Amino acid sequence: MSGLSSQRRASGQSSSLYTLLVFLSIVLVLLVVMLSAYLRLSGSGLGCVDWPSCYALIKTEAGGAESLAAAHRVPPWATLTHRLVASVLGLLVLSVALLAWRRRRESRQSIAMLLAVLTMTVFLSVLGYITPSPLRPWVTLSNLLGGMTMLAMLWWMGQRSVMTEKLNFKDHSLRPWALTGLVIVFLQIALGGWVSANFAALSCTDLIGCGGYPWANGPWRESFNLSRDLPVTDGGVVIAGDTGKLIHIVHRAGAAFTFLYLGWLGWQAVRLRDRYRGTGIAMLVFLTLQIALGVFAVAYSLPLGLVTVHNTIAALLLLSVVNLNHLLTPRMAK
């Protein structure tokens, strides 16, 4: 009997350590997402002294490689902190993977999800090491979406690890709508990242309107061409033009649609009460903050701090939608 008791105690300690490491990893991923946004926006010239003339200014070095002209304005502490946190995060994720593998028989965690997190960690590490020219938007987008995906997967793993309900009934009727909401918020984050990656933030500086809408002859295909290189002037300034306008217009249209859909979804979660109510309220709060920050960012000419917070709230909004999907997906009893 004492042997069985000791085994249960060891299993409980292992489970607690696993959960602790997962949630520590979540905190670090969120911090990395924030720092990445800050570095990306600072490096593009956002918020620099000569704003907006310094925005999207590229210089060509003697060796032929491009670098952001405003890169020297990025605080050294931010770069160092980002690298340090990312390194610690990698070690934590590896520890989570090893611990999960050791307890795979007693754990209900998906090994596929764990492998996906490990793969994403390696991918982001390699991408950060071999990052090519800033004139290639797919690099920025890959970093952003990779970080957001990793954050969402770790949050799911953390919530499943502390889930106590083991029910076996039909899926809730709201679940397909919650899954759709997850896709919508992820796509909207991608659109926001594409605006940043294409230096299109200044393409639409008015709250309403975009200085003319180039619908008829707009370069739609080029605006969303993932493999394109950004064109620059002889002086090294990125040319956004109508391409940037179209990207910005689509992002704003996506924001309106996301607000309506997630607003409805969050309200439905609040109406369900019980364990869903808190998540629904969080969704509505983050959604309102995100829209307000977007409006204020345009109204006040994109201050660096405000846009960085805008990126952070997008991550929290994503987590709230992931949490709703978690709550609507009860663990099946064996």
Contact assessment for residue 99 and residue 14, using Cβ atoms and an 8 Å cutoff: yes
**Higher pLDDT, residue 43 or 246:** 246
pLDDT at 53 > cutoff 90: no
- The highest-confidence range among 12-16, 111-115, 260-264, by mean pLDDT, is 260-264
User: Residue 168 pLDDT more than 50?
Assistant: no
Alpha carbon distances (Å) from 17 to 78, 153, 162? 30, 18, 12
Res 212 pLDDT > 70:
no
Distance CA 265, CA 179 (A): 11
pLDDT of residue 154: 94
What would the pLDDT profile of 231-288 be if each residue is shown by its tens digit?
887 777 787 777 888 888 899 999 999 999 999 999 999 998 788 999 999 999 999 9
Which of the four pLDDT bands, split at 50, 70 and 90, describes residue 331?
low
Q: Who has greater pLDDT, 300 or 309?
A: 309
State the Cα–Cα distance between residues 88 and 163, nearest whole angstrom. Answer: 27
- Going by C-alpha positions, the residue among 103, 95, 105 that lies closest to residue 20 is 95
194 pLDDT above the threshold of 80: yes
Q: Does residue 312 have a pLDDT over 70?
A: yes
- Is it the case that residue 11 has pLDDT exceeding 50? no
How far apart, in whole angstroms, are the C-alpha atoms of residue 250 and residue 149? 22
pLDDT given for residue 65 in this prediction: 60
Tell me what the mean pLDDT of segment 304-326 comes to.
95
Tell which residue, 68, 310, 301, 313, has the closest CA to residue 204.
Answer: 301
The residue ranking higher by pLDDT, 328 or 203, is 328
| Nearest alpha-carbon partner for 156 in 124, 108, 113 | 113
Please compute the mean of the pLDDT values over residues 57-67 and round it to a whole number. 63
How high is the pLDDT of residue 1?
A: 46
Q: Could you tell me the CA-to-CA distances from 144 to 8, 138, 279, 294, 300 in Å, in that order?
A: 41, 10, 24, 18, 24
The C-alpha atoms of residue 100 and residue 110 are separated, in whole angstroms, by 9
**pLDDT surpasses 70 at 107:** no
Q: Is the model more confident about 303 or about 172?
A: 303
Question: Could you give the CA distance from residue 1 to residue 7 in angstroms, rounded to a whole number?
Answer: 10
pLDDT confidence bin for 207, thresholds 50/70/90:
confident
Higher pLDDT, 220 or 241: 241
Query: What is the residue extent of each domain of the chain?
Result: 2-327
Q: What average pLDDT does this structure show over 65-94?
A: 80
List alpha helices for the chain, DSSP H. Answer: 2-43, 76-102, 111-129, 137-161, 175-197, 220-223, 241-272, 276-299, 304-327
Q: Residue 58: its pLDDT value, please?
A: 77
The Cβ of residue 3 has, within 10 Å, a number of other Cβ atoms equal to: 7
Which three-class secondary structure state does DSSP give residue 232? strand
Burial string for 198-225 (b: 16+ CB within 10 Å, else e) reads bbbbbbbeeeeebeeebeeeeeeeebbe
Q: What is the pLDDT of residue 70?
A: 58
Find out whether 82 and 93 touch, Cβ atoms under 8 Å: no
Work out the burial of residue 234: count CB atoms within 10 Å of its CB; fewer than 13 is exposed, 13-18 middle, 19 or more buried: exposed
